[in-house]
Chains A and B, each alone.
Chain A
Amino acid sequence: MNIPWDLIDWFPIWLSIKVAFLSAGLVAVLALPLARLMEKYSFRGRDAVEAFVTLPLVLPPSVVGYGLLVLIGRRGLLGNFLHNMGLSLVFTWWAVVIAASVVAFPLMYQSARGAFASVNPDYEKAARTLGAGELAVFFRVTLPLAWPGILSGLVLSFARAMGEFGATLMVAGNIPGRTQTIPLAIYFAVESGDKLTANTLVAIISVFCFALILWVNRWKKKYQQY
Protein backbone atom coordinates (compact mmCIF):
# COMPACT_ATOMS: atom_id res chain seq x y z
CA MET A 1 0.00 0.00 0.00
CA ASN A 2 1.30 3.40 -0.92
CA ILE A 3 0.79 5.69 2.05
CA PRO A 4 0.63 9.39 1.22
CA TRP A 5 2.52 10.44 4.37
CA ASP A 6 2.12 14.15 3.72
CA LEU A 7 -1.67 13.86 3.78
CA ILE A 8 -1.73 12.41 7.28
CA ASP A 9 -2.61 14.72 10.11
CA TRP A 10 0.09 14.04 12.74
CA PHE A 11 -1.50 16.15 15.43
CA PRO A 12 -3.70 13.41 17.02
CA ILE A 13 -0.71 11.08 17.27
CA TRP A 14 1.45 13.69 18.88
CA LEU A 15 -1.33 14.78 21.26
CA SER A 16 -2.20 11.21 22.26
CA ILE A 17 1.40 10.40 23.13
CA LYS A 18 1.79 13.62 25.08
CA VAL A 19 -1.46 13.04 26.97
CA ALA A 20 -0.66 9.40 27.71
CA PHE A 21 2.76 10.25 29.14
CA LEU A 22 1.46 13.15 31.21
CA SER A 23 -1.52 11.20 32.53
CA ALA A 24 0.53 8.13 33.40
CA GLY A 25 2.98 10.36 35.25
CA LEU A 26 0.27 12.29 37.06
CA VAL A 27 -1.61 9.13 37.97
CA ALA A 28 1.57 7.50 39.30
CA VAL A 29 2.37 10.50 41.48
CA LEU A 30 -1.13 10.44 42.99
CA ALA A 31 -1.90 6.71 43.09
CA LEU A 32 1.37 5.40 44.54
CA PRO A 33 1.25 7.34 47.83
CA LEU A 34 -2.47 6.64 48.17
CA ALA A 35 -1.98 2.91 47.58
CA ARG A 36 0.85 2.88 50.10
CA LEU A 37 -1.21 4.70 52.74
CA MET A 38 -4.25 2.49 52.22
CA GLU A 39 -2.02 -0.56 52.45
CA LYS A 40 -0.39 0.55 55.68
CA TYR A 41 -3.15 2.20 57.64
CA SER A 42 -6.67 1.10 58.28
CA PHE A 43 -9.23 3.73 59.23
CA ARG A 44 -12.97 4.16 59.23
CA GLY A 45 -14.31 4.56 55.76
CA ARG A 46 -11.28 3.05 54.07
CA ASP A 47 -13.47 0.69 52.07
CA ALA A 48 -15.58 3.62 50.91
CA VAL A 49 -12.52 5.57 49.77
CA GLU A 50 -11.28 2.46 48.00
CA ALA A 51 -14.59 1.98 46.21
CA PHE A 52 -14.71 5.64 45.24
CA VAL A 53 -11.29 5.69 43.57
CA THR A 54 -12.11 2.49 41.70
CA LEU A 55 -15.38 3.92 40.42
CA PRO A 56 -14.06 5.37 37.11
CA LEU A 57 -13.07 1.83 36.12
CA VAL A 58 -16.63 0.55 36.21
CA LEU A 59 -18.71 3.62 35.43
CA PRO A 60 -19.57 4.34 31.79
CA PRO A 61 -17.11 6.94 30.41
CA SER A 62 -20.04 9.23 29.66
CA VAL A 63 -20.88 9.29 33.36
CA VAL A 64 -17.29 10.13 34.23
CA GLY A 65 -17.34 12.80 31.54
CA TYR A 66 -20.54 14.28 32.89
CA GLY A 67 -19.13 14.24 36.41
CA LEU A 68 -16.07 16.08 35.19
CA LEU A 69 -18.22 18.67 33.44
CA VAL A 70 -20.08 19.26 36.67
CA LEU A 71 -16.75 19.75 38.38
CA ILE A 72 -14.60 21.66 35.90
CA GLY A 73 -17.22 22.97 33.48
CA ARG A 74 -17.47 26.74 33.16
CA ARG A 75 -20.28 26.78 35.70
CA GLY A 76 -18.92 23.82 37.60
CA LEU A 77 -17.81 23.76 41.22
CA LEU A 78 -14.12 24.12 40.47
CA GLY A 79 -14.60 25.48 36.95
CA ASN A 80 -16.45 28.54 38.17
CA PHE A 81 -13.64 29.36 40.56
CA LEU A 82 -11.04 28.95 37.81
CA HIS A 83 -13.18 30.93 35.39
CA ASN A 84 -13.18 33.87 37.80
CA MET A 85 -9.41 33.69 37.79
CA GLY A 86 -9.43 33.81 34.01
CA LEU A 87 -8.73 30.12 33.52
CA SER A 88 -10.77 27.63 31.61
CA LEU A 89 -10.13 23.92 31.38
CA VAL A 90 -12.96 22.53 29.27
CA PHE A 91 -12.27 22.13 25.56
CA THR A 92 -8.53 22.51 26.08
CA TRP A 93 -5.92 19.77 25.89
CA TRP A 94 -5.63 19.96 29.68
CA ALA A 95 -9.18 18.63 29.84
CA VAL A 96 -7.97 15.72 27.71
CA VAL A 97 -5.25 15.04 30.29
CA ILE A 98 -7.72 15.28 33.19
CA ALA A 99 -10.24 12.91 31.57
CA ALA A 100 -7.49 10.42 30.69
CA SER A 101 -6.03 10.60 34.21
CA VAL A 102 -9.36 10.03 35.93
CA VAL A 103 -10.16 6.89 33.94
CA ALA A 104 -6.57 5.59 34.21
CA PHE A 105 -6.29 6.21 37.95
CA PRO A 106 -8.01 3.01 39.18
CA LEU A 107 -5.72 0.85 37.04
CA MET A 108 -2.59 2.38 38.53
CA TYR A 109 -4.07 2.34 42.00
CA GLN A 110 -5.14 -1.30 41.90
CA SER A 111 -1.81 -2.45 40.45
CA ALA A 112 0.16 -0.49 43.02
CA ARG A 113 -2.00 -1.75 45.85
CA GLY A 114 -1.45 -5.35 44.80
CA ALA A 115 2.25 -4.74 44.23
CA PHE A 116 2.78 -3.28 47.71
CA ALA A 117 0.74 -6.06 49.31
CA SER A 118 2.89 -8.67 47.59
CA VAL A 119 6.07 -7.42 49.29
CA ASN A 120 6.82 -9.66 52.26
CA PRO A 121 6.78 -7.39 55.32
CA ASP A 122 9.81 -9.25 56.70
CA TYR A 123 12.01 -7.42 54.18
CA GLU A 124 10.78 -4.09 55.52
CA LYS A 125 11.26 -5.25 59.10
CA ALA A 126 14.78 -6.42 58.29
CA ALA A 127 15.59 -3.02 56.79
CA ARG A 128 14.33 -1.29 59.95
CA THR A 129 16.45 -3.43 62.24
CA LEU A 130 19.46 -2.59 60.02
CA GLY A 131 18.95 1.09 60.75
CA ALA A 132 16.81 2.34 57.87
CA GLY A 133 14.15 4.99 58.47
CA GLU A 134 10.70 4.70 56.89
CA LEU A 135 11.62 6.69 53.78
CA ALA A 136 14.72 4.58 53.19
CA VAL A 137 12.71 1.40 53.76
CA PHE A 138 10.30 2.53 51.06
CA PHE A 139 12.83 3.60 48.46
CA ARG A 140 15.47 0.93 49.04
CA VAL A 141 13.25 -2.07 49.74
CA THR A 142 9.51 -1.73 49.14
CA LEU A 143 9.59 0.18 45.86
CA PRO A 144 12.22 -1.99 44.11
CA LEU A 145 10.40 -5.16 45.17
CA ALA A 146 7.01 -3.84 44.12
CA TRP A 147 8.39 -2.42 40.89
CA PRO A 148 7.19 -5.14 38.45
CA GLY A 149 3.58 -4.67 39.58
CA ILE A 150 3.92 -0.90 39.54
CA LEU A 151 5.31 -0.98 36.03
CA SER A 152 2.33 -3.08 34.92
CA GLY A 153 0.09 -0.43 36.39
CA LEU A 154 2.00 2.32 34.60
CA VAL A 155 1.67 0.57 31.26
CA LEU A 156 -2.01 -0.18 31.80
CA SER A 157 -2.78 3.40 32.75
CA PHE A 158 -0.66 4.70 29.87
CA ALA A 159 -2.62 2.54 27.43
CA ARG A 160 -5.93 3.42 29.03
CA ALA A 161 -5.10 7.13 28.86
CA MET A 162 -4.14 6.78 25.22
CA GLY A 163 -7.37 4.97 24.38
CA GLU A 164 -9.72 7.22 26.33
CA PHE A 165 -12.70 8.32 24.23
CA GLY A 166 -16.03 8.95 25.94
CA ALA A 167 -15.09 11.20 28.83
CA THR A 168 -12.62 13.06 26.62
CA LEU A 169 -15.27 13.81 24.05
CA MET A 170 -17.53 15.26 26.72
CA VAL A 171 -15.05 17.55 28.49
CA ALA A 172 -12.63 18.35 25.68
CA GLY A 173 -14.73 17.92 22.57
CA ASN A 174 -13.33 16.95 19.20
CA ILE A 175 -11.42 20.00 18.06
CA PRO A 176 -8.92 19.10 15.32
CA GLY A 177 -5.54 20.58 16.08
CA ARG A 178 -6.48 21.22 19.70
CA THR A 179 -8.15 18.32 21.50
CA GLN A 180 -8.42 15.63 18.85
CA THR A 181 -6.66 12.48 20.03
CA ILE A 182 -6.16 9.27 18.02
CA PRO A 183 -9.39 7.55 19.21
CA LEU A 184 -11.44 10.66 18.43
CA ALA A 185 -9.75 11.11 15.06
CA ILE A 186 -10.46 7.47 14.18
CA TYR A 187 -14.12 7.75 15.13
CA PHE A 188 -14.72 10.90 13.15
CA ALA A 189 -12.63 9.68 10.20
CA VAL A 190 -14.75 6.54 9.97
CA GLU A 191 -17.91 8.56 10.29
CA SER A 192 -16.93 10.87 7.44
CA GLY A 193 -15.70 7.99 5.28
CA ASP A 194 -12.01 8.96 5.46
CA LYS A 195 -10.66 5.40 5.31
CA LEU A 196 -7.06 6.39 4.79
CA THR A 197 -6.81 8.33 8.06
CA ALA A 198 -8.74 5.68 9.96
CA ASN A 199 -6.57 2.83 8.67
CA THR A 200 -3.32 4.65 9.31
CA LEU A 201 -4.23 5.65 12.86
CA VAL A 202 -5.57 2.18 13.71
CA ALA A 203 -2.36 0.64 12.41
CA ILE A 204 -0.17 3.06 14.34
CA ILE A 205 -1.95 2.71 17.67
CA SER A 206 -2.17 -1.10 17.37
CA VAL A 207 1.52 -1.56 16.56
CA PHE A 208 2.53 0.88 19.26
CA CYS A 209 0.48 -0.81 22.01
CA PHE A 210 1.58 -4.27 20.90
CA ALA A 211 5.25 -3.26 21.03
CA LEU A 212 4.77 -1.67 24.44
CA ILE A 213 3.18 -4.75 26.00
CA LEU A 214 5.76 -7.03 24.42
CA TRP A 215 8.60 -4.95 25.84
CA VAL A 216 7.09 -4.81 29.33
CA ASN A 217 6.47 -8.54 29.47
CA ARG A 218 10.02 -9.31 28.38
CA TRP A 219 11.46 -6.85 30.84
CA LYS A 220 9.37 -8.29 33.67
CA LYS A 221 10.58 -11.77 32.91
CA LYS A 222 14.16 -10.59 33.16
CA TYR A 223 13.53 -8.60 36.34
CA GLN A 224 11.66 -11.36 38.10
CA GLN A 225 14.29 -14.04 37.75
CA TYR A 226 14.82 -13.97 41.47
Chain B
Amino acid sequence: MLKADFKKELWHFNLQVSFEVFAGQVLVLWGPSGAGKTTVLECLAGLRHPDEGQISLNKKLLFSSIDRINLPSRKRRIGYLFQNYALFPHMTVGENIDFGRRYQSDKDFSYQRWRKDLMEAFGIGHLITRYSYQLSGGEKQRVALARAMAVRPDLLLLDEPFSSLDHETKLDLRHELNAVKKTWDIPVVLVTHDREDADALGDCIITIDHGQMIQSQRTQTAYNNDTQIYTVL
Protein backbone atom coordinates (compact mmCIF):
# COMPACT_ATOMS: atom_id res chain seq x y z
CA MET B 1 0.00 0.00 0.00
CA LEU B 2 1.17 3.48 -0.86
CA LYS B 3 0.58 6.27 1.63
CA ALA B 4 1.51 9.79 0.71
CA ASP B 5 0.98 13.08 2.47
CA PHE B 6 3.30 15.90 1.54
CA LYS B 7 3.73 19.55 0.62
CA LYS B 8 6.02 21.22 -1.84
CA GLU B 9 6.39 24.86 -2.64
CA LEU B 10 6.56 25.46 -6.38
CA TRP B 11 7.34 28.81 -7.90
CA HIS B 12 3.76 29.66 -8.80
CA PHE B 13 1.76 27.72 -6.22
CA ASN B 14 1.97 25.32 -3.31
CA LEU B 15 1.47 21.65 -3.94
CA GLN B 16 -0.31 19.74 -1.21
CA VAL B 17 -1.58 16.18 -1.55
CA SER B 18 -2.64 13.35 0.69
CA PHE B 19 -3.82 9.93 -0.47
CA GLU B 20 -3.60 6.15 -0.09
CA VAL B 21 -3.55 3.52 -2.81
CA PHE B 22 -3.92 -0.21 -2.18
CA ALA B 23 -2.27 -2.97 -4.17
CA GLY B 24 -4.18 -3.69 -7.36
CA GLN B 25 -5.83 -0.27 -7.27
CA VAL B 26 -5.43 2.58 -9.71
CA LEU B 27 -5.46 6.10 -8.39
CA VAL B 28 -5.94 8.71 -11.07
CA LEU B 29 -4.68 12.24 -10.58
CA TRP B 30 -6.81 14.27 -12.94
CA GLY B 31 -6.50 17.94 -13.71
CA PRO B 32 -5.44 20.53 -16.26
CA SER B 33 -1.84 20.66 -17.43
CA GLY B 34 0.36 22.66 -15.12
CA ALA B 35 -1.67 21.63 -12.09
CA GLY B 36 1.29 19.90 -10.44
CA LYS B 37 0.40 16.30 -11.31
CA THR B 38 3.79 15.30 -12.68
CA THR B 39 5.48 16.87 -9.68
CA VAL B 40 3.47 14.55 -7.43
CA LEU B 41 4.77 11.55 -9.39
CA GLU B 42 8.33 12.86 -9.26
CA CYS B 43 8.11 13.29 -5.50
CA LEU B 44 6.81 9.73 -5.14
CA ALA B 45 9.65 8.45 -7.32
CA GLY B 46 12.32 10.37 -5.43
CA LEU B 47 13.21 12.49 -8.45
CA ARG B 48 12.15 15.59 -6.54
CA HIS B 49 12.21 16.47 -2.92
CA PRO B 50 8.98 17.43 -1.08
CA ASP B 51 9.36 20.20 1.51
CA GLU B 52 7.61 18.30 4.23
CA GLY B 53 5.47 15.25 4.83
CA GLN B 54 5.73 11.52 4.54
CA ILE B 55 5.64 8.88 1.83
CA SER B 56 5.57 5.20 2.63
CA LEU B 57 5.26 2.12 0.46
CA ASN B 58 4.32 -1.22 2.01
CA LYS B 59 5.26 0.15 5.43
CA LYS B 60 8.72 1.16 4.20
CA LEU B 61 9.39 4.86 4.62
CA LEU B 62 10.51 6.42 1.34
CA PHE B 63 10.40 9.99 2.54
CA SER B 64 9.87 11.60 5.89
CA SER B 65 10.73 15.18 6.68
CA ILE B 66 10.49 14.51 10.42
CA ASP B 67 12.80 11.48 10.39
CA ARG B 68 14.98 13.10 7.74
CA ILE B 69 14.58 10.16 5.42
CA ASN B 70 14.75 10.55 1.67
CA LEU B 71 15.51 7.33 -0.15
CA PRO B 72 17.13 7.93 -3.54
CA SER B 73 15.15 6.87 -6.60
CA ARG B 74 17.28 3.84 -7.24
CA LYS B 75 16.34 2.33 -3.87
CA ARG B 76 12.60 2.96 -4.04
CA ARG B 77 11.64 0.11 -6.38
CA ILE B 78 9.25 2.23 -8.34
CA GLY B 79 8.31 1.74 -11.98
CA TYR B 80 7.92 5.04 -13.79
CA LEU B 81 6.40 5.42 -17.23
CA PHE B 82 7.43 8.80 -18.60
CA GLN B 83 5.17 10.87 -20.79
CA ASN B 84 7.67 10.72 -23.65
CA TYR B 85 8.51 7.09 -22.70
CA ALA B 86 12.22 8.02 -22.28
CA LEU B 87 13.41 4.85 -23.99
CA PHE B 88 17.20 5.09 -24.23
CA PRO B 89 17.77 5.90 -27.90
CA HIS B 90 21.25 4.38 -27.98
CA MET B 91 20.04 0.98 -26.84
CA THR B 92 17.90 -1.70 -28.42
CA VAL B 93 14.55 -2.68 -26.95
CA GLY B 94 16.23 -5.68 -25.30
CA GLU B 95 18.98 -3.53 -23.78
CA ASN B 96 16.39 -1.04 -22.56
CA ILE B 97 14.44 -3.75 -20.79
CA ASP B 98 17.59 -5.26 -19.25
CA PHE B 99 18.96 -1.86 -18.15
CA GLY B 100 18.05 -2.29 -14.49
CA ARG B 101 18.97 -5.96 -14.35
CA ARG B 102 22.43 -5.46 -12.85
CA TYR B 103 21.09 -3.38 -9.98
CA GLN B 104 18.79 -6.15 -8.77
CA SER B 105 20.27 -7.96 -5.85
CA ASP B 106 17.98 -10.92 -5.11
CA LYS B 107 19.80 -14.10 -6.03
CA ASP B 108 16.99 -16.66 -6.02
CA PHE B 109 14.99 -14.89 -8.66
CA SER B 110 14.76 -16.06 -12.23
CA TYR B 111 15.12 -12.90 -14.22
CA GLN B 112 14.95 -14.76 -17.52
CA ARG B 113 11.54 -16.15 -16.69
CA TRP B 114 10.26 -12.81 -15.46
CA ARG B 115 11.56 -11.19 -18.65
CA LYS B 116 9.88 -13.82 -20.82
CA ASP B 117 6.57 -13.30 -19.02
CA LEU B 118 6.81 -9.55 -19.59
CA MET B 119 7.60 -10.00 -23.28
CA GLU B 120 4.54 -12.19 -23.62
CA ALA B 121 2.28 -9.97 -21.56
CA PHE B 122 3.12 -6.91 -23.64
CA GLY B 123 3.59 -8.72 -26.96
CA ILE B 124 6.98 -7.20 -27.69
CA GLY B 125 9.15 -10.30 -28.18
CA HIS B 126 9.57 -9.56 -31.90
CA LEU B 127 10.88 -6.03 -31.25
CA ILE B 128 13.86 -7.02 -29.13
CA THR B 129 16.63 -6.00 -31.58
CA ARG B 130 15.02 -2.74 -32.69
CA TYR B 131 15.85 0.80 -31.61
CA SER B 132 13.19 3.13 -30.26
CA TYR B 133 13.15 5.25 -33.43
CA GLN B 134 12.01 2.12 -35.26
CA LEU B 135 8.93 1.67 -33.07
CA SER B 136 5.39 3.03 -33.33
CA GLY B 137 3.88 5.04 -30.49
CA GLY B 138 1.98 2.07 -29.09
CA GLU B 139 5.04 -0.18 -29.33
CA LYS B 140 7.20 2.39 -27.56
CA GLN B 141 4.74 2.56 -24.76
CA ARG B 142 4.50 -1.20 -24.33
CA VAL B 143 8.30 -1.43 -24.28
CA ALA B 144 8.54 1.39 -21.75
CA LEU B 145 5.97 -0.35 -19.57
CA ALA B 146 7.85 -3.64 -19.82
CA ARG B 147 11.09 -1.84 -18.90
CA ALA B 148 9.46 -0.26 -15.86
CA MET B 149 8.08 -3.65 -14.78
CA ALA B 150 11.37 -5.47 -15.43
CA VAL B 151 12.82 -4.23 -12.13
CA ARG B 152 9.83 -5.74 -10.30
CA PRO B 153 8.57 -2.46 -8.82
CA ASP B 154 6.37 -2.21 -5.75
CA LEU B 155 4.55 0.75 -7.26
CA LEU B 156 3.83 1.82 -10.82
CA LEU B 157 3.63 5.49 -11.83
CA LEU B 158 2.19 6.48 -15.20
CA ASP B 159 2.54 10.00 -16.54
CA GLU B 160 -0.04 10.83 -19.23
CA PRO B 161 0.24 7.35 -20.72
CA PHE B 162 -2.34 8.00 -23.42
CA SER B 163 -1.62 11.54 -24.50
CA SER B 164 0.00 10.75 -27.84
CA LEU B 165 -1.85 7.62 -28.88
CA ASP B 166 -4.71 7.16 -31.34
CA HIS B 167 -8.05 5.84 -30.13
CA GLU B 168 -7.47 2.22 -31.15
CA THR B 169 -4.06 1.96 -29.46
CA LYS B 170 -5.47 3.66 -26.42
CA LEU B 171 -8.11 0.97 -25.99
CA ASP B 172 -5.50 -1.79 -26.36
CA LEU B 173 -3.40 -0.13 -23.77
CA ARG B 174 -6.16 0.32 -21.26
CA HIS B 175 -6.61 -3.41 -21.56
CA GLU B 176 -2.92 -3.99 -20.92
CA LEU B 177 -2.87 -1.71 -17.91
CA ASN B 178 -5.69 -3.66 -16.39
CA ALA B 179 -3.72 -6.82 -17.01
CA VAL B 180 -0.75 -5.27 -15.19
CA LYS B 181 -2.95 -4.37 -12.29
CA LYS B 182 -4.45 -7.83 -12.11
CA THR B 183 -1.31 -9.89 -12.71
CA TRP B 184 1.20 -8.01 -10.60
CA ASP B 185 -1.05 -6.67 -7.92
CA ILE B 186 0.74 -3.44 -7.08
CA PRO B 187 -0.62 0.06 -6.49
CA VAL B 188 -0.74 2.25 -9.58
CA VAL B 189 -0.84 6.05 -9.75
CA LEU B 190 -1.81 7.50 -13.11
CA VAL B 191 -1.74 11.10 -14.19
CA THR B 192 -4.01 12.35 -16.96
CA HIS B 193 -5.84 15.44 -18.14
CA ASP B 194 -8.37 13.31 -20.05
CA ARG B 195 -11.57 12.71 -18.10
CA GLU B 196 -12.55 9.70 -20.22
CA ASP B 197 -9.25 7.95 -19.43
CA ALA B 198 -9.64 8.85 -15.80
CA ASP B 199 -13.10 7.31 -15.61
CA ALA B 200 -12.13 4.22 -17.56
CA LEU B 201 -9.06 3.35 -15.52
CA GLY B 202 -9.34 4.81 -12.08
CA ASP B 203 -10.62 3.09 -8.99
CA CYS B 204 -10.36 6.46 -7.39
CA ILE B 205 -10.00 9.85 -9.02
CA ILE B 206 -8.45 12.85 -7.37
CA THR B 207 -8.96 16.18 -9.06
CA ILE B 208 -5.96 18.46 -8.78
CA ASP B 209 -5.73 22.10 -9.68
CA HIS B 210 -3.04 24.58 -8.73
CA GLY B 211 -1.44 21.95 -6.56
CA GLN B 212 -4.51 21.42 -4.40
CA MET B 213 -6.76 18.38 -4.16
CA ILE B 214 -10.16 19.71 -5.08
CA GLN B 215 -12.17 16.55 -5.10
CA SER B 216 -11.68 12.86 -4.43
CA GLN B 217 -14.13 10.25 -5.61
CA ARG B 218 -14.45 6.52 -6.08
CA THR B 219 -15.50 5.57 -9.58
CA GLN B 220 -18.13 3.09 -10.65
CA THR B 221 -15.34 0.77 -11.68
CA ALA B 222 -14.24 0.39 -8.12
CA TYR B 223 -17.58 -1.02 -7.04
CA ASN B 224 -17.54 -3.72 -9.69
CA ASN B 225 -15.51 -6.86 -9.45
CA ASP B 226 -12.61 -7.68 -11.73
CA THR B 227 -14.56 -9.47 -14.45
CA GLN B 228 -16.86 -6.52 -14.76
CA ILE B 229 -13.95 -4.16 -15.05
CA TYR B 230 -13.03 -5.94 -18.22
CA THR B 231 -16.55 -5.59 -19.65
CA VAL B 232 -16.58 -1.90 -18.83
CA LEU B 233 -13.47 -1.43 -20.93
Check B133–A130 contact: CB distance below 8 A: no
Check A128–B82 contact: CB distance below 8 A: no
* Alpha-carbon separation in the docked complex, A127 to B80 (Å): 10
Check B86–A131 contact: CB distance below 8 A: no
* CB-CB nearest in chain B for A225: B133
Of A21-29, A117-125, A165-173, the one touching chain B: A117-125
**Is the CB of B72 closer than 8 A to any CB of chain A?**
yes
* CB-CB nearest in chain A for B87: A126
Check A131–B90 contact: CB distance below 8 A: no
**Is the CB of A41 closer than 8 A to any CB of chain B?**
no
User: Interface residues of A: mostly helix, strand, loop or mixed?
Assistant: helix
> Which residue of A123, A127, A129 has the most chain B CB atoms within 10 A of its CB atom?
A129
**Is the CB of B188 closer than 8 A to any CB of chain A?**
no
> Which residue of A120, A130, A131, A132 has the most chain B CB atoms within 10 A of its CB atom?
A130
- Give which listed residue, B76, B82, B84, B89, contacts A226 with CB less than 8 A: B89
- Give which listed residue, A122, A128, A226, contacts B74 with CB less than 8 A: A128
Check B88–A131 contact: CB distance below 8 A: no
Hey, what's the 0/1 contact readout for A93-134 against B, CB within 8 Å counting as 1?
000000000000000000000000000101101111111110
- Give which listed residue, B84, B100, B131, contacts A131 with CB less than 8 A: B100
| Interface bin, chain B | 20 to 34
User: B residues within 8 A CB of A120?
Assistant: 84, 86
* Alpha-carbon separation in the docked complex, A51 to B88 (Å): 33
What's the A-B contact tally at a CB cutoff of 8 Å? 67
| Interface bin, chain A | 10 to 19
Check B86–A126 contact: CB distance below 8 A: yes
* Alpha-carbon separation in the docked complex, A120 to B86 (Å): 8
**Is the CB of B99 closer than 8 A to any CB of chain A?**
yes
User: B residues within 8 A CB of A136?
Assistant: 103
* Alpha-carbon separation in the docked complex, A222 to B107 (Å): 40
* CB-CB nearest in chain A for B45: A129
User: A residues within 8 A CB of B84?
Assistant: 120, 122
Nearest Cβ distance between residue B92 and chain A, in whole angstroms? 11
User: A residues within 8 A CB of B104?
Assistant: 131
Hey, what's the 0/1 contact readout for B137-157 against A, CB within 8 Å counting as 1?
000000000011011000000
**Is the CB of B78 closer than 8 A to any CB of chain A?**
yes
> Which residue of B47, B74, B80, B133 has the most chain A CB atoms within 10 A of its CB atom?
B74
Check B147–A128 contact: CB distance below 8 A: no
Check A128–B131 contact: CB distance below 8 A: no
Check A126–B90 contact: CB distance below 8 A: no
Residue positions of A touching B, CB distance < 8 A? 120, 122-123, 125-133, 136, 140-141, 144-145, 225-226
Sample of 5 A–B contacts (CB below 8 Å):
A126-B80, A126-B86, A131-B74, A132-B103, A226-B133
